[in-house]
Chains A and B, each alone.
Chain A
Amino acid sequence: MLLAILSGFLLATVAPAVHRQTGMNSGWVLAILPAALFLYFLSFLPAVGSGESIVISYPWVPGLDIQLSFLVDGLSLLFALLISGIGFFIVAYAGRYLEGHKDLGRFYVLILSFMASMLGLVLSDNLISLFVFWELTSITSYLLIGFNHEDATARRSALQGLFVTVGGGLALLTGLVMMAVVTGSYELSEILSSGDALRDHGWYVAIVLLVLLGCFTKSAQVPFHFWLPRAMAAPTPVSAYLHSATMVKAGVYLMARLNPSLGATDLWLILLGVFGALTMFTGVFMSIRSTGVKQVLAYSTVMALGTLTMLIGVGTDTAIMAAMAFLLAHSLYKGALFLIAGILDHEAGCKDFLQTGGLRHALPITATFAAIAALSLGGVIPMFGFVAKELLFEAVLEAPSLSGLLSLLTVASAILVVAVAAVVGIKPYWGPRVETPKTPHHEAPPAMLAGPAVLASLGLLFGVGVAMVDRGLLSAAAGAVYGSPVETYLSLWHGFNLPLMLSLLSLVLGLTIYFNWDRFRTATGFMDDLKRFGPERAYDKSMDGLVSISEWQTRVLQNGYLRYYLLTILLSTVALVTFSIARAGGLEIQMSLAGVRIQELAIVAVLLLAALVSVTTSSRLGAVASLGAVGFSVALIYVLFSAADVGITQVLVETLTVIMLVLVLFRLPGFLGLTPQALRIRDAVVALAFGVMVALLSLAASSTRFADSISEYFIRESEPSGFGRNIVNVILVDFRALDTLGEIVVLALAAVGVYAMIKLRAEDNRK
């Protein structure tokens, strides 16, 4: 199983090489993998069809309790079969569609990686690995949408898709972790059986909202639907695969997957039902309003995603069965229609339905399969789409609540879907011949026809022989979503009942709209103005806002003035320390000047005076001299208080410092007095505040000791272990010799730097 999922990534690494070797047949060669995977997953069907669910587990990060575990039940098997099956046709199709494209090798890498991520996502049992695969699909999708990266629109669309889905992914991760905390397990197979614990927990609402945010963004639900039509900037095989059959269904998959543990509450029903229904109607309405071939299909995908969400929300066994049937039907006809859209573009150069017409003579095979797929989309008997649509009507009519609203939106959508189907299936091929940008000379090559032909035919086959998919796969999938086996079975003919009447009604009204398509679009033209208030506008605004906020904060924080950086750091430190002291209830300070000798007092006075002079003098020599006075006073303090070695070092270093400053500073101009008086006072106040703080902390720290000093050890062991009588020296060269080595390295580096800069200057002068 692990190999099956990772094989996509493995093949992706060598795909460009394979492509170079096999040339124009590379599509067929690489498509062997998805085909093999399809057969492999098919071998699970007997067991899963009889209601089993199989868990396969490998340790991944044992310390964090993350396992690479996989769950094969009806739902994941249905998805795995769709992904690998459609993947086969997509890879084969892409080989011809992008033939001669300079980046075809890169395309294979991405599409195979995407397939593997998607398989990993639907088969993962562990929440963390599920999330990792979830994000991998977002990233590969980003790269695929932006495949034509020299096109600014494609780049923008790719970024938009990425922001929306990854933003939702963050929310999802939080939701998943909370779910794992509540249930005590990261394994889906265990979480699914602890639904009651989740629903009764105080975090339930938060978990549902976070998880749904992830699912809604991924599956392009209103108001996040705008990125999906934009994603059509990708090459057509990508649109067919990612944005109709698989990736966008990841959100639907997760909602279906978690339905047994999160579902069956009013919150779930209302959120999924209402947002799903709104998405469904918005999608189909935008679809009939569009004219671009891929736009129409993209919006009708939004419609399908909304329908699936709504059905999962309704949650009755009929609704779940309808969702699974609709999922399968949609993947089949939408995959076919997208691939046909690619053929129209490839052969006739058509990107807009208004430019098409009468192509049935030039592309007879394409026209046939387009018609079959469109019939399934429109839900016409005897297609599989009809079966799904009947069940959809039945489910919303029987919905436990909100039935009226959902039914109304469903029927309205169904009417428009018929019109969309007619646009897609009839408009390009019938009627008068319209001049197309390219004149088609021949049918598309077999590699490109195979996908639409098989997928569209399956839609017909499953409709007529509905029992083929009913009792094995679909009821197992529905059972996995419902949480217990479902009793509803599919049939082509339900008898004369309300759903059938609604079907007929939608057919008639839909065709009426189709024949008045132009008038319909003109009549609803005012809707274009509403775009200004749409969610995409909000997205743009927030992106602009993000940019201007970062510009503003860079301007304020990274202003390039050292003194403002310093001021910020100093004032924050003073404020934070004051705050901490105030919270701790003040400092314990013991002050005593007892025992201070007169010579010490004199040294301290000299030191402070010298420091003051060095700060206030306007003469450079004066500043250097008083610095020297400060340094030698410090040395005297060391000597007086038992630190002879330190004192000697200080004297040496201070002498060198003064010499060096005199040598260098006198090549520089004198002090200029650059700052006005007010700023000097401000700086003095800050400096004094910081000085007072340090003094107070020093006082407080003198009377506090948190741990025993390790000096005792050094004093005790200096002679016996270190064989030295000067304990400071023994520490430096023996106990802490590595520190000293580091110090020497620092000095050496500084010396090299100094030398280099002097050398550099010399060479500059020579020029």
Chain B
Amino acid sequence: METLMAFVVGGLFAAAIYMMLRRSIVKLVIGLILLSNGANLLLFTQAGMLRGAPPLVPLGATQPEGVVADPLAQALILTAIVIGFGVLAFAVVLIHRAYEVVEADDMDQMKDTDT
């Protein structure tokens, strides 16, 4: 599965970067969303993927039974998802504001600091 996921991650990165290279600022934000999904999946893949073994301790035991998925990677991804959302919210409001000022969805018109 890790092999397959490597190509999924690669595909997400490629799509994200293509979008970030566009002149439209909306596309840039779409690229950012794809990129953060790709990065999270990359982390997830690297921790090793296990089916049906959530990192939970059964009632009455002090240790999980058998091998469980890596909880640290999951904790990190959780944090990343939430922070990514915060950044995205900020970016979306920012582009909206920028559009009001520049009146174009074109980054080439935002080169100057004066506007």
Contacts and interface: CB of A to CB of B under 8 A. Distances in A.
Whether chain B is bound by chain A comes out as yes
Interface of A: 560-563, 566-567, 570, 590-593, 595-596, 600-601, 604, 607-608, 611-612, 614-615, 620, 623, 627, 630-631, 634, 637-638, 640-646, 649-650, 653, 656-657, 660-661, 664-665, 667-669, 671-672, 674-675, 683-684, 686-688, 690-696, 698-699, 701-702, 709-711, 714-716, 718-720, 724-728, 731-732, 736, 739-740, 743, 746-747, 749-751, 753-754, 757-758, 760-761, 764
Interface string B35-77: 0011011101110011111111111011110001111111101
Given A641-B50, A710-B72, A758-B93, A750 B87 contact: yes
Given A561-B108, A710-B72, A615 B78 contact: no
A687 B70 contact: no
B19 to A, nearest CB: 6
Contacts, number: 274
Interface of B: 1-24, 26-30, 33-34, 37-38, 40-42, 44-46, 49-59, 61-64, 68-75, 77-79, 81-90, 92-97, 99-100, 104-108, 111-112
Contact of A715 (B2, B14, B55, B88): B55
Given A631-B37, A645-B78, A728-B55, A695 B26 contact: no
B4 to A, nearest CB: 6
Contacts of A747: 82-83, 86
Point out which of A591, A642, A718 has the most chain B C-beta atoms below 10 A from its C-beta.
A642
A671 to B, nearest CB: 6
A719 B56 contact: no
Nearest to A663: B92
Given A562-B107, A630-B37, A664-B93, A702 B46 contact: yes
Contact of A686 (B6, B17, B72): B17
The interface residues of chain A, by DSSP majority, are classed as helix
Given A614-B15, A645-B74, A709-B72, A630 B34 contact: yes
Point out which of B18, B64, B77 has the most chain A C-beta atoms below 10 A from its C-beta.
B18
Given A620-B26, A631-B37, A698-B45, A683 B21 contact: yes
23 contacts: A563-B23, A566-B17, A566-B21, A570-B17, A607-B8, A608-B11, A615-B18, A645-B74, A646-B74, A664-B95, A664-B96, A668-B96, A668-B105, A669-B104, A674-B24, A691-B10, A694-B38, A699-B2, A718-B57, A719-B63, A725-B56, A740-B79, A760-B97
Contacts of B3: 590-593, 699
A595 to B, nearest CB: 7
B90 A753 contact: yes
Given A570-B17, A740-B79, 7 more contacts: A561-B111, A649-B82, A671-B24, A693-B10, A711-B70, A719-B61, A720-B62
A604 B26 contact: no
A724 B75 CA distance: 14
B33 A657 contact: yes
A563 B106 CA distance: 12
A672 B106 contact: yes
Contact of B6 (A699, A727, A736): A699
B12 to A, nearest CB: 6
Nearest to B31: A615
Contacts of B41: 634, 637
Contacts of A653: 81-82, 84-85
A671 B25 CA distance: 10
Contacts of A750: 86-87, 89-90
A641 B34 contact: no
Contacts of A715: 55, 63-64, 68, 71
B99 to A, nearest CB: 5
Contact of A643 (B21, B61, B74): B74
Contacts of A668: 26, 95-96, 99, 105
Given A653-B81, A739-B79, A754-B89, A725 B59 contact: yes
A669 B28 CA distance: 15
